[in-house]
Amino acid sequence: MKIFNSIKELKVLLASARSEGKTIGLVPTMGALHEGHASLVRRCIDENDVTVVSIFLNPTQFNDKSDLDRYPRTLEADCELLSSLGATVAFAPSVAEIYPEPDTRTFSYPPTDTVMEGAYRPGHFNGVCQIVSKLFDYVEPDRAYFGEKDYQQIAVIRRMVESLSYNIDIVPCPVVREESGLALSSRNALLTAEERKTAAAIYRTLERSRAFASTHSVAETQEYVVHAINAVDGLEVQYYNIVDGDTLADIKDWNDAKSVVGCITVFCGGTPIRLIDHIRYC
Ligand code: PAF
């Protein structure tokens, strides 16, 4: 596996691959790789001739500096994992390489980027679109792979791809979970063993809410989830929205949308660590 820090080197390799008719897949990451990322990389390798994995802790998507400061950084272990999986290139640029000057571009795809994470983390999705569009421009992949754990992020990126006419297939990949049901996340590394156990109540409750939803309204189901999770010592719900799975607009009735998804963010533990998850109702 090649490890590149410069955009130029990356582009040279990709131009040569493209001239040989090879297909290119991109897996954008912020590092601190875990089995969830590994599942994206495996799928990318299966479906493309060349797999580029970017490792870049993108500062423009962090509205809270302390969140950025404590984000786990494990570049060496990340590269070892990618090499063992068989990725072609790990692209790990510096902040100066990506942002030689401040990125002043703005992206706006309401309601996908204004609700939920968009409302609680102002500027977050603008930063995500800044970096993802740059990566799309450097790599020009045929396909790009994103974990469904960040359900809202995929909805925003799909809108960006449509709006900017990128000829790239966005491939959503299923959430990978611990045996307890906790969704794998780089942030889990910041939880104590005890907090990890506590956090498993998030998905357990979401799963139970499916049965509850079959005999209750959207509003009652929303309340059920918030109440049950807040009742667990060490967990506090920031929001739980039941939304149209495509537009992410709130729904009032189960029949208001073809696909219905519940998206949640929960604070866990003393520090506290912000965890996100979702569940499909239909
Ligand atoms: O999902 C992530 O890890 C990040 O938001 C992404 C897509 C790599 C952009 O920095």
Angle between helix 35-47 and helix 75-85 axes, rounded to 10 deg = 40
Q: State whether the beta carbon of 81 lies less than 6 angstroms from ligand 1.
A: no
Between CA 177 and CA 230 the distance in angstroms is 22
The pLDDT score that the predictor gives to residue 224 is 98
To test the pocket of ligand 1, the residue of 30, 39, 121, 130 to mutate (highest count of ligand atoms within 8 Å of its CB) is 30
Question: In degrees, to the nearest 5, what angle opens at C-alpha 89 toward C-alphas 182 and 153?
Answer: 40
Domain ranges within the chain, ordered by starting residue: 2-173, 186-280
Cα 123 to ligand 1 centroid, rounded to whole Å: 14
33 in contact with ligand 1, CB cutoff 6 A:
no
Catalytic residues: 37
C-alpha 49 to ligand 1 mean position (Å): 23
Which residue reads 């794998």 in tokens? 184
What token pair was written down for 87?
């990725």
Give the Cβ contact number of residue 52 at 10 Å: 27
How are the residues of the chain apportioned to helix, strand and coil, as percentages rounded to the nearest 5? 45, 20, 35
For residue 47, the model assigns a pLDDT of 98
In angstroms, how far is the first alpha carbon of the chain from the final one?
41
Instruction: Please state, rounded to an integer, the average pLDDT across all residues of the chain.
Output: 98
Q: How much is the average pLDDT of 239-247?
A: 97
Question: By three-state DSSP, how is residue 148 classified?
Answer: coil
> Residue range 3-14: average pLDDT?
98
| DSSP per position, 190-215 | GS-HHHHHHHHHHHHHHHHHHHHHTT
Confidence of residue 182 (pLDDT cuts 50, 70, 90): very high
Nearest CA to ligand 1 atom 3: 29
Q: What is the pLDDT of residue 38?
A: 98
Q: How far is the CA of 54 from the centre of ligand 1 (A)?
A: 9
Helix (H, G, I), strand (E, B) or coil at 34: coil
Q: Whose CA is nearest to atom 8 of ligand 1?
A: 29
The pTM for the full model equals: 0.97
| Cβ of 279 less than 6 Å from ligand 1 | no
Q: What's the pLDDT score for residue 35?
A: 98
What is the rounded CA–CA span in Å between residue 159 and residue 20?
A: 31
Per-residue model confidence (pLDDT) at position 282: 96
Provide CATH code, domain 2-173: 3.40.50.620
Mean pLDDT of 238-258: 98
Q: Exposure string (b/e) for 177-194, b if CB count within 10 Å is 16 or more? A: beeebbbbbbbbebbeee
Task: Say what the pLDDT of residue 266 is.
Answer: 98
Give the pLDDT confidence of 54-97 residue by residue, as tens digits. 999 999 999 999 999 999 999 999 999 999 999 999 999 999 99
Q: Do 88 and 51 form a contact (C-beta atoms < 8 A)? A: yes
pLDDT for 157 equals 98
* Pair of tokens at residue 48: 């493309």
Residues 168 and 144 sit within 8 Å (Cβ to Cβ)? yes
What CATH class has 186-280? alpha beta
pLDDT at 149: 97
**Per residue in 108-155, pLDDT tens?**
999 999 999 999 999 999 999 999 999 999 999 999 999 999 999 999
Please report which residue ranges of 48-192 form alpha helices under DSSP H: 65-70, 75-85, 95-98, 117-120, 124-139, 151-163
